[in-house]
Structure 1
Amino acid sequence: MRFLTDAHTRTDHMRCQTCGGETSPALNECSICRTPLGQPPVAPGVPTYPVGGFGRAVVAAVAVTAVLDILVALYPAVGAVLARRAAEAQDTDVLLGAVLLEVPFLLLFGAAYLTSAVLMIIWTWRARKNLEAFPGALPQLTSGWAIAGWLVPLANFVVPVRVVAGIARDSLWRSRTPVLVGVWWAAWLVFSLGERLAYLADSRAYERLPENPFNDIGYQAYVGYYQDALVRNLIPLAACLIAAATLIVLVRRVTAAQQARIALGAPAWPAPPGWPGASAPYGWPAAPVPLGPLGVTGPSPQVVGPGSAVSPQAAGPAGGTIGA
């Protein structure tokens, strides 16, 4: 009776291999991480993909893109100053210099933006593929949408956030989509649409400027153009900073969670010669015992046959040995 009680107690207090939380035999899965009872953190035979390096690359690229966007968005303040100096000196070359000075910032921002997009697509695909090796994960979209979702027109307004939401839920053990995902995507949409609207408005305003200003009115038109452009850039800039900050936090959290789970699933056996043997996790087969020459593991203990008695070995005669 005591044995049955102890066994029942051990079953009630079995711990999940993924999160370490206590599980109940009344449930088929862990209430914390949703890993099915008795399943390892990572399914054997299913490949996983490192996300640490790409996660750090995404964080760095997004941070650089945000800094460059600040320079591009606030550059009209510099253009307004140069336009006033051009009016004071009545020098159109200063206006041309203001236009040319903005070009390097735009090129650097475009390169950083493209780099961030490529790295984000790769990281998303790898993180989504890892879900296939996590018992209990329930992704709603296939891994192919982790790439196609960013590239297909119109679908790129909905699919990427659904893929990232699934990755965040299954990696961070959430039953609902984390708030960070919604904030990131809303800010991203505001930035994307706001930047395009601001660009179209700047283009129309620039076309109305006099090509060769000969008086103060012409130069003042350039000053007003840069001032209006600065105001139009404020909303997309704020949205860009919010999107960048939330994405950086989200990528870091998901990357750390997936790396920790993959590390839990990495077998720590068999050990190198001379090392103490490591026990296999619950539910996994034990490590094989290395065999000696001809498959012999070592001397076997003496087996006592039925009805036989084993007596202690008698000492031999003095000065001799058995069989000598």
Structure 2
Amino acid sequence: MSYTPPSMPVAPPPPSAPGPGAWLKSPVGLANGTVALLGVGIATDLFSLWAGGGVFGVVSDLIDGGLGTVTEDRADRADSLYAASGVFQVAALVGTAVLFLCWFRRVRVNAEVFAPDGHSMSRGWAVGAWFVPVANLWFPRRVAVDIWDASSEGRWLPGGAPQAGRRTLLNAWWTLWITSSVFGWIASQQYRKAEEPEKIKNAVVSLMASDLLSIAAAVLAILFVRRLTAMQGAKARSGPGSPTHA
């Protein structure tokens, strides 16, 4: 009668074949471009903060001293700069979104090579999940979690189940991104509807707070992109079917 020592590691299950069209390709170039555009987005948010401060000052002077305390040129300049900052932010957001989605799909395809059976959603959701109303509040995170787990140097638990790596950075990025997006939409609606000086002032404060949240979310997005890209590089060098054992 044979005996297997309790300390013997449990071997992982044999890997399944990845889906058609799935092959490893370096995401570094797309990651670098995404990080650069996220940096541009941060710059536009900083410009918006500065321009918002100008509008805040104009409105505050109007409230405190009346129309005679603010010249028309000053008011027009502050309003034009703030409007321009909004255009810059939208342009940066669109450019970043396009490149981020290209990177996100690339790392999803790579993750399918690493763990063909480790995905709860099909490959097309790497892009499509972001455009489904309401569901885009959690569907992209599900895709990101599967990519993260497949790309991590996880350990095999007894029974052959993979143990995922820690998702602290992923969860922090996603939470702050959702928070900044929802808060930004609310602040934009508040500013669009504001007509009285006091309401405009409050709306500008909300928009400036939204800019700060956006900057923080962008910083975490940069860290997330860099970390996941590095994880996939390490995983590719070690081989998709060679996890460590508990």
SS at match of 1:141: coil
Q: CA deviation at 1:69?
A: 1.7
User: Are the counterparts in 2 of residues 58 and 116 from structure 1 also a CA contact under 8 Å?
Assistant: yes
Amino acid across the alignment from 2:132? V
Separation in 2, partners of 1:150, 1:90: 44
| Aligned residue number for residue 236 of structure 1 | 210
**Cα RMSD after superposing both structures:** 3.1
Larger relative helix fraction: 2
| Aligned residue number for residue 32 of structure 2 | 56
Separation in 2, partners of 1:90, 1:47: 62
Rate the CA distance shift 1:245–1:80 in 2: closer, same or farther, 3 A.
closer
Pick from 191, 198, 201 the counterpart of residue 190 of structure 2.
201
1:213-249 superposed Cα distances (whole Å, 9 cap, x missing partner): xxxxxxxx3xx45532332124423432332122211
User: Are the counterparts in 2 of residues 74 and 233 from structure 1 also a CA contact under 8 Å?
Assistant: no
1:66 aligns with 2:10: no
SS at match of 2:218: helix
Pick from 162, 166, 186 the counterpart of residue 146 of structure 2.
166
Separation in 1, partners of 2:81, 2:212: 23
Larger Rg: 1
1:179 aligns with 2:168: yes
| Aligned residue number for residue 152 of structure 1 | 132
Separation in 1, partners of 2:205, 2:33: 32
Separation in 2, partners of 1:229, 1:139: 42
TM-score normalised by L of structure 1: 0.59
TM-score normalised by L of structure 2: 0.76
Q: CA deviation at 1:194?
A: 0.8
Pick from 221, 234, 241 the counterpart of residue 247 of structure 1.
221
SS at match of 1:132: helix
| Aligned residue number for residue 114 of structure 1 | 94
Rate the CA distance shift 1:46–1:153 in 2: closer, same or farther, 3 A.
closer
Rate the CA distance shift 1:230–1:74 in 2: closer, same or farther, 3 A.
farther
| Aligned residue number for residue 258 of structure 1 | 232
| Aligned residue number for residue 295 of structure 1 | none
Amino acid across the alignment from 1:57? G
User: Are the counterparts in 2 of residues 69 and 109 from structure 1 also a CA contact under 8 Å?
Assistant: yes
Amino acid across the alignment from 1:115? G
Separation in 1, partners of 2:81, 2:88: 12
| Aligned residue number for residue 76 of structure 1 | 52
Q: Which runs of 5+ in 1 are unaligned?
A: 1-11, 13-23, 30-35, 210-220, 267-281, 283-324
Tell which has more relative contact order, 1 or 2 (C-alpha 8 A, sep 6+).
2
SS at match of 2:214: helix
Separation in 2, partners of 1:79, 1:149: 37
Alignment of 1:6-21 (within 5 A): none
Aligned residues: 220
Separation in 2, partners of 1:160, 1:173: 22
User: Are the counterparts in 2 of residues 198 and 229 from structure 1 also a CA contact under 8 Å?
Assistant: yes
Q: CA deviation at 1:120?
A: 1.3
Q: Which runs of 5+ in 2 are unaligned?
A: 155-162
Q: CA deviation at 1:191?
A: 0.9
